[in-house]
Chains A and B, each alone.
Chain A
């Protein structure tokens, strides 16, 4: 079993839809949880970061962490074609060993 699991997709939704992206993990030492977005042929860029269990909202994006279930989610409201990208969850403990999920490829169709 991989440390971080993520549905690889691809996921296709119409413009304006609500998108739910999810990751599960097995290492209870993970303390920091991130979502990175990667456009085609580019490096990943940080979208959101959370530390504790609960929800964090930033514009159209909401990150949710449930440490008891070892489950994190990213919700995108009113999805736009510009949101089409691969979304990578990432997590780490107190060190700098980032572990990335395999990524979910999202296409938002106009």
Chain B
């Protein structure tokens, strides 16, 4: 069974460019999470969805960030315009109730974003 799939795995872009990160959760999972990990700030929750509906986006740093989940098998995180301080590893994770009451999240391999 495939795990959480993220693309691209690495992205290098220039300041001001639009960046789109993609995620395919595990089939049957009803929660999807986007995280950002940096050395300085650790692993931060940006936004999460339940049944494709955004539930809490209070972790989204600013209006330059947006996320969508058009269907149960696909989500995007977009940064427009990108800035050097957005450089981080972005993880997508998914879970369902049967996974110890939602406490086990399955993480994707991450997208390493570098903004020059």
Contacts and interface: CB of A to CB of B under 8 A. Distances in A.
B56 A43 contact: no
Interface string A21-35: 000000000001010
Interface string B35-56: 0000000111100101000011
Nearest to A33: B103
B105 A98 contact: yes
Contacts of B56: 95-97
B42 A96 contact: no
B100 to A, nearest CB: 5
A43 B108 contact: yes
A45 B107 contact: yes
A62 B107 CA distance: 23
Task: Tell me the interface secondary structure of chain A in the complex.
Answer: loop
A88 B43 contact: yes
A101 B42 contact: yes
Interface of B: 4, 31, 33, 42-45, 48, 50, 55-56, 91, 93, 100-110
A103 B35 CA distance: 15
Interface residues of A, number: 20
A100 interface: yes
A32 B42 contact: no
Contact of B105 (A41, A46, A99, A101): A46
B104 A46 contact: yes
A97 B42 contact: no
Contacts of B108: 43
Contacts of B91: 43-44
A43 B109 contact: yes
A88 B37 CA distance: 12
B45 A97 contact: yes
A8 to B, nearest CB: 9
